Each structure stands twice: as structure tokens, then as C-alpha cells.
Amino acid sequence: MTATATSPERVSFETHPQQYHHWRLSTDGDLARLTMAVNPSCGLRPGYELKLNSYDLGVDIELADAIQRLRFEHPEVRCVVIDGALDKVFCAGANIQMLRTSGHGWKVNFCKFTNETRLYLEDASQHSGLKSLAACNGATAGGGYELALACDEILLVDDSNSTVSLPEVPLLAVLPGTGGLTRVVDKRMVRRDHADVFSTLVEGIKGQRAIDWKLVDDIAPLSQFEARTKEMARELANSVEDKSDRIGVALPPLEVTHEEGAMRYRYVTVTWDESTRQGELQIQLPNAGNPADATAAHAEGAQWWLFDMFRQIDDALLNMRINLPLINVMSVRVLGNPQVALDSDAFLAAHQDHWFVTEVACFMKRVLKRYDLTAKSFFALADEGTAFAGTWLEFGLGADRFYVLDEEDTPVQLGVSSMNGGAYPMSNDLSRLESRFLGDLDQAGRVLAKQGLIAAADALGLGLSTESMDLIDWEDEIRVHLEERASYSPDSLTGMEANLRFAGPETLETKIFGRLTAWQNWIFQRPNAVGASGALQCYGTPSRPEFDYNRT
């Protein structure tokens, strides 16, 4: 995609089941059915058809919306069955024509959003008691199998044709870009040699062999497929606690105003200037306090300011990625009273026994991960009127740099709460404090022990600020830092930031984002894949690809 930040081709990440083009969502008690029925003529952009349940970003936007609605609007559901509406086809994977006609940045962000959505499905299983079953009623290839891998269990129809496959290497000269290889060996624990064979078989693997190699959990002939689907879904549902007493919360559309150089929500404002390649993310805390209790928070639902704010932040981050490609560095400011932030955290910590409060905290965790994974340089600025405290301190800790104004006559306060102690783990399963002080975890504990408001004068000594400045230097120094950052190559910055943001242990998530996505995006620029005679260009044509056989 070559659209600029002000292009009319702006992508919206908001949708609703009544507006879906590609999925059908239904619920029946504690079971749900999410059927992939991709409309070939409703691609997000012109120039390709979504044949054979292949998908593009628009299909994934609907999938992400459906998962979120199951968690909030249908909390009674304990298992969702994901199946395909086409005969003999579950999903053919990412649409090749879409990939072929997309620019590098589009492919990168498509892969990233798809990865995040699959991880959100897995998070729902781990933290929300929402299990998932992939009922693969036909051919399950590439990204289609990667979607199945994100589910708790996989059922494959046992006929003469239906296989699971990851054919990207032999067919397209690229890699499965949304966690396929990692989930095969790390999640399903397929033997390395079996995984090697499987990943180079264009035709894939079916039947009993797919079970023996742990690629699927069960198979069933077509005549018994629906009955076996229901049986496995019931077993998965029964494996988690009963949730029939939960009442869902509707998720209305967000209210946002789009202007030239600005997006304005109720609590969030994003502004930018393409001429300087700089932007700003402002988060405004309200003056109001917390609901009376968890029941009152549940009654407020999506209008609870905390939930509403983070829905807005989530949408703003996604818009930054896709719709603001020319913006290189974002300054970040949290405005308001830091005590409001700390009081809100105390409310969250005190009501984790209520499903809705817990679900909101899980959502906030996901939004903060989205912040970590967004390819913009984030410089957090704590000056007069800001409130980087508790949950909102995470935006400072997660930024690439955190500058604090330390001026005796100017009140600037930060704050620490129990929520900074691990409620919002990063992709490496560490808190942002632990990631910050990886070489001295005792320091993370010392900071956490300072719960409450912290004076700006103490920020540098505690290791919270990158640099603390007085008022004389503040404006000029910040301007220089931002201008310098905006002048660097965005490619090198993205690579540098991705390497620095996730220090410490490797997890399924860091492998997916750090290894597969990075390798996939590098390979997507190689002539063997995207050159005039590359495999991605020749796929579906009479021409055979021509490779440079030098190992890199």
C-alpha cells in the first residue's frame, strides 16, 4: 500500500458482526460457532479475489473483533468452534495476490496484526476460559493451518483430499509468517525431522499420519465430522469453569473525529506532521473517580472510562501503524492527576474476583503489548501536568526513552502501584520493570516497593528516567532528540527497537515476533521471493521461479 497518512484509503479497525463480510458468529449456551465464509469480492483493497477462503487484513480485522466480542459480549461461552463454510476447504491461507501487490510495509503490518490476533485467541484460552476448536472441514493450508494451530485442538476431516500444510517454503520461497513453524515445534511439540518434512511438502499431510505426527488431535470421516466436532467442543467446554451466570457487555463503536493531522477520541488524541515525520500520542485521565464496586463497573460496561480509554488507545495504535506510515517518532504524554491513576489501579487490584474487571485488565495487557510491538519510536515526556503513574507508568517504561522534567518550582510526579509488578507482562513474560532492570532485578523490587507518588527529582536515581532535565534545557533538548530520531532510517530503527525491547527469556511470542516475523519480512524483500522471476511473482502463472542459489 502506498497511501500516505492523509490518504482516503484509511483503514478502519472497527466492525460489527452485522457488518461482517467474511465470518458468521453464532452462540448457543456455552458454545459458539465462528464460520469462515470469505466473500471473494470483498477484499480490503481492489486488485485481488479472496478465493478458497483465503484472507487479507480485512478478514483478520473481523476475526479479531469476533474474539473480542466473545470475551466481552458472550462471556458465558466456554468453547468456540472455528470452521469453514466452503465445501472441502477450511482456509487456503493468506491471499497470494494480496501479498504480491502489497508494499513491504503493508505485508509487515498485516503479518503483525494477524500474529496478535492469533495470540489473543490463545490468551482467551489461558485467561478467560474460552477454549477453541479448529474444525478443519477441508484443505487447511498456510495461514489457514496457522489459525488452526492457534486453537486448543484441531479436528481434520478424514477423506481422500483434505490435508494440513505449510507450503510457503516450496511454493513461495518465504516462511509461514504468523507463527506456524514456532507453534508446530514449540506448542504442538512436533519432532524436528517430522516438522522439516512437513514444511517442505506442498501437498501436506492427512489422515492418521497427521495424528501420529501431532499435527492434528483427531480425524473423522465426513459422515461423522459434525458429530465429532460437537463432541470435542463439549469436552473442551467442560474442561473450564461454568460461566453461565455471566452477563455480557456490549461493545459500541468508538467515537473518533478524523481531521487533517489529528485523530481525536474522548480520552486520546493523536496528532502528527508529515513534514517533520513526528507525532504525539496524548492520553487524558478523567477527573472522575472509580465506580462504587465491580458490579457498578460491570453496569457501566464499555462506558467505564478505564475500558473506554484503552479501547481508544488500541484503535489509535492500529491507526498509527497502517494509516501513518510516514511518521517515524511519537512523543507520548499522559495528562491528569497521577492520584487518579493510582486509585484506579487500587480498584483493579481489589476486584480481580469479578470476571469483567479481570477481562478489562487482560485487555489492557494486550493493548500495552500492542504498544510494545508498534514500529514507531516512542519518547515518553513527563513534564508539568503529566501523570505517568501505575498502569500509565507502563507507557513510560515501555517507551524507547523516558524524559522527565526535574524543576524545583514545577510540580511533576510519577507513581508506582502493584499493577507494575506483573499485571501487564510483555511478550517475554517479564514486567516492564523487570525488563528495564534485567541486569539488576533487585532494583525492580526496590522501585516496586516505592508504591505511591514519586517526585520527579527521584526518577533518575530510581532508574525510571532516561534523562532528567531542568526547565531551561527541556524544550530545546526534547526538540533536538525528536528531530534527530525522525532523521534516522525507519528500517534500521524498527530493527534496533525490536532487538532492544524484548531482552531476557525467549517465549513463544518473542519467537513469533522476533524470529519469524523478522525473517519473513527480510525474505519478503529477497529476489527469490519478490523479484521479477521470484516464486511469489510466478505463483499461479505458467512461469517457473528462478532462484539465486547462493546461501545468505
> Do 198 and 181 form a contact (C-beta atoms < 8 A)?
no
Strand segments, DSSP code E, in 37-177 are: 54-55, 79-84, 88-91, 93-94, 131-136, 138-141, 153-157, 164-165
> Do 38 and 87 form a contact (C-beta atoms < 8 A)?
no
Which residue's C-alpha cell is 518434512? 197
Q: What percentage of the chain carries pLDDT values higher than 70? A: 99
Report the C-alpha gap between 97 and 120 in whole angstroms.
27
The structural domains of the chain, ordered by start, are 17-238 (3.90.226.10), 257-493 (3.90.226.10)
The pLDDT value recorded for residue 3 is 34
The pLDDT value recorded for residue 522 is 84
Report the C-alpha gap between 178 and 143 in whole angstroms.
7
- Convert the pLDDT of each residue in 338-383 to its tens digit: 999 999 999 999 999 999 999 999 999 999 999 999 999 999 999 9
- Convert the pLDDT of each residue in 157-183 to its tens digit: 999 899 999 999 999 999 988 899 999
Closest CA to 488 of 497, 500, 475: 497
- Convert the pLDDT of each residue in 184-197 to its tens digit: 999 999 999 999 99
Q: What is the band of 497 on the pLDDT scale with cuts at 50, 70, 90?
A: very high
Burial of 46 (0-12, 13-18, 19+ CB in 10 A): exposed
What secondary structure does DSSP assign to 435-471, as a single string?
HHTTT-HHHHHHHHTT-EEEEGGGHHHHT--SEEE-H
- Convert the pLDDT of each residue in 54-91 to its tens digit: 999 999 999 999 999 999 999 999 999 999 999 999 99
- Convert the pLDDT of each residue in 413-442 to its tens digit: 999 999 999 999 999 999 999 999 999 999
> Do 40 and 88 form a contact (C-beta atoms < 8 A)?
no
- Mean of the pLDDT values across residues 262-277? 98
How wide is the angle at C-alpha 489 spanned by C-alphas 13 and 381, nearest 5°?
65
In terms of phi and psi (left: phi > 0; alpha: psi -120 to 50; beta: otherwise), the region of 14 is beta
Count CB-CB contacts under 10 A for residue 505: 10
Strand segments, DSSP code E, in 233-315 are: 257-259, 262-264, 268-273, 278-284
Cell of 337: 492527576
Which residue's C-alpha cell is 459458539? 32
Is the pLDDT at 32 greater than 60, yes or no?
yes
Q: What is the band of 525 on the pLDDT scale with cuts at 50, 70, 90?
A: confident
Q: Is 509 helix (H, G, I), strand (E, B) or coil?
A: helix
Entry field: residues in the chain: 552
